[in-house]
Amino acid sequence: MAQTLRIAIIGTGNWSRHMHLPSLKKLAKLEDVAFAGVCDLNAEAARAYAKDLGAAESFTDLHKMIDALKPDGVAVLVPPEVVGNVLGQVLARRVPFIVEKPPAPDAATQRRLIREAEGMTHVVAYNRRHCPYITQAKEWLAGIAPQSVTTQFTRFQRREEDFTTTAVHGIDATRHLAGEDLVSIRLEVAQAGPVKNFFLNGWTKAGTRVDMVFVPDTASSCEHYDIRAQERTVLVSFPQNGMIDLPGYVELHEKNKVAARKGPADFGFAADDQPGLGGILAEHQVFCRALRGQAKPFSTLTSTLQTQEIRDALYPLMAHGGRAAAELVFAS
Ligand SMILES: NC(=O)c1ccc[n+]([C@@H]2O[C@H](COP(=O)([O-])OP(=O)(O)OC[C@H]3O[C@@H](n4cnc5c(N)ncnc54)[C@H](O)[C@@H]3O)[C@@H](O)[C@H]2O)c1
């Protein structure tokens, strides 16, 4: 592979422009990366993004872009409704990719994509997995199977029909912090005015209990992960845009004392650096290093499959209305 990585972008919407674009600009200063081209169905949006990013060319057809530029990798930043299809096209061209979450509309599609991606370098942009606070939490908990991971995932006035495309973050981060796949999970969906709340609890094989509360229409937005083991407690306040307690923190307790508390400056970020604190920059860096064979991605189609399986199981409960529950037991 040439020394300078040539990356192309597919999808220039809201999240792409506000989180990925600033991170990509920073990435170009940290890694030896050039942006080959930008593609969006909206030609003007693609052109404007390419100009901001310093990419020479813009396209409205991803196949034309791949044919013309032969990039080393692409960033697939398109909405959940189309991501499975777009990713399938990228896989057919055998181009390494980083893809926004959720990478597929359902687990069956994700399993197919896993087969098609066999041997291909890729990262699924579950950015919580790459957030510096969560990376620090994992380091503090290395070698420890927590007794419990408790997740409080709330939003302020989020009333969309399908909150699962956001809730997958909390499910995935909780699984990541628990350290392994779950062996079972109980799911409850409860209608609350115009929205549906999710209450999920389960177990890992090592006996870590996970409890997750998703309440999208509340008076304040927060995303807290509380990880408890006998010798150590770790608290994470994830710093998503709009959270009540920005810029968040990661805190370690030992012997009933606060042993350490870290915030943005401890990781070299300004308090308002959302892409840095949120893990967007780190996931871009993992992708680049993986393309060079210097890193092994840990957020992949395979490692995030169970997140999608849990998401799938929420749909029939959401369709039921009122309050509905189900239990999933995963084959070991
Ligand atoms: N990590 C997070 O917390 C977080 C937050 C918000 C969104 N996201 C994810 O980011 C992704 C993108 O979100 P967004 O807000 O940028 O979406 P958006 O809806 O604002 O824009 C999507 C863009 O993709 C383009 N597009 C669609 N199909 C295409 C195709 N075949 N070829 C080229 N372009 C195509 C559209 O023209 C549009 O400009 C979604 O998967 C979403 O789930 C993640």
What are residue 265's DSSP bridge partners? none
Q: Longest C-alpha distance within the chain, in Å?
A: 60
The CATH number given to 5-120 is 3.40.50.720
Q: What is the pLDDT of residue 167?
A: 98
The CATH number, out of the four listed (3.30.470.20, 3.40.50.620, 3.30.360.10, 3.40.50.9100), of the domain defined by the range 131-270+309-329: 3.30.360.10
Q: Quickly state the pLDDT bin for 331 (edges 50, 70, 90).
A: confident
Q: Kindly report, residue by residue over 159-172, the tens digit of the pLDDT.
A: 999 999 999 999 99
What are residue 32's DSSP bridge partners? none
Q: Which of 89, 100, 241, 307 to mutate to test the pocket of ligand 1 (most atoms within 8 A of CB)?
A: 100
Report CA(301)–ligand 1 centroid distance (Å): 18
Report CA(285)–ligand 1 centroid distance (Å): 20
Q: Which of 78, 98, 162 to mutate to test the pocket of ligand 1 (most atoms within 8 A of CB)?
A: 78
Report CA(76)–ligand 1 centroid distance (Å): 8
Nearest CA residue ID for atom 28, ligand 1 = 78
The residue whose two tokens read 């896989």 is 91
Report CA(293)–ligand 1 centroid distance (Å): 28
Nearest CA residue ID for atom 38, ligand 1 = 13
pLDDT over 70 for what percent of the chain? Answer: 99
Q: Kindly report, residue by residue over 30-89, the tens digit of the pLDDT.
A: 999 999 999 999 999 999 999 999 999 999 999 999 999 999 999 999 999 999 999 999
> What pairing do the DSSP bridges indicate for beta strands 182-192 and 323-329?
antiparallel
Decide if 275 contacts 22 (C-beta within 8 A): yes
Tell me if 5-120 shares its fold with 131-270+309-329. Answer: no
Edge-to-edge strand order for the sheet containing 122-125?
A: 57-59, 33-39, 5-10, 73-76, 97-100, 122-125
Q: What is the pLDDT of residue 1?
A: 53
Decide if 203 contacts 210 (C-beta within 8 A): yes
How large is the angle between the packed helices 80-92 and 62-69, nearest 10 degrees?
40
Q: Where are the domains of the chain?
A: 5-120, 131-270+309-329
Using alpha carbons, select from 109, 68, 62 the residue that is nearest to residue 90.
Answer: 62
Report CA(174)–ligand 1 centroid distance (Å): 24
Q: Report how far Cα 35 is from the mean position of its chain's Cα atoms.
A: 22
Nearest CA residue ID for atom 37, ligand 1 = 41
The residue whose two tokens read 């908990």 is 141
Q: Quickly state the pLDDT bin for 112 (edges 50, 70, 90).
A: very high
Decide if 146 contacts 174 (C-beta within 8 A): no
Q: Which of 12, 15, 21 to mutate to test the pocket of ligand 1 (most atoms within 8 A of CB)?
A: 15
Q: What is the pLDDT of residue 332?
A: 72
Enumerate the H helices of the chain as residue ranges. Answer: 14-15, 21-30, 43-53, 62-69, 80-92, 107-116, 132-140, 164-178, 274-278, 280-291, 305-320
Q: Quickly state the pLDDT bin for 251 (edges 50, 70, 90).
A: very high
Nearest CA residue ID for atom 8, ligand 1 = 15
Q: What is the pLDDT of residue 2?
A: 52
Mean pLDDT of 138-158: 97
Decide if 167 contacts 153 (C-beta within 8 A): yes
Query: Residues lining ligand 1, judged by CB closer than 6 Å?
Result: 10-16, 39-42, 45, 62, 77-80, 82-83, 86, 100-101, 127, 165, 169
The backbone torsions φ and ψ at residue 219, rounded to the nearest 5 degrees and listed phi first, read -80, -10
Q: What is the pLDDT of residue 73?
A: 98
pLDDT over 90 for what percent of the chain? Answer: 97
Calpha distance 80→74 (Å, rounded): 17
User: Residue 142 carries which DSSP code?
Assistant: T
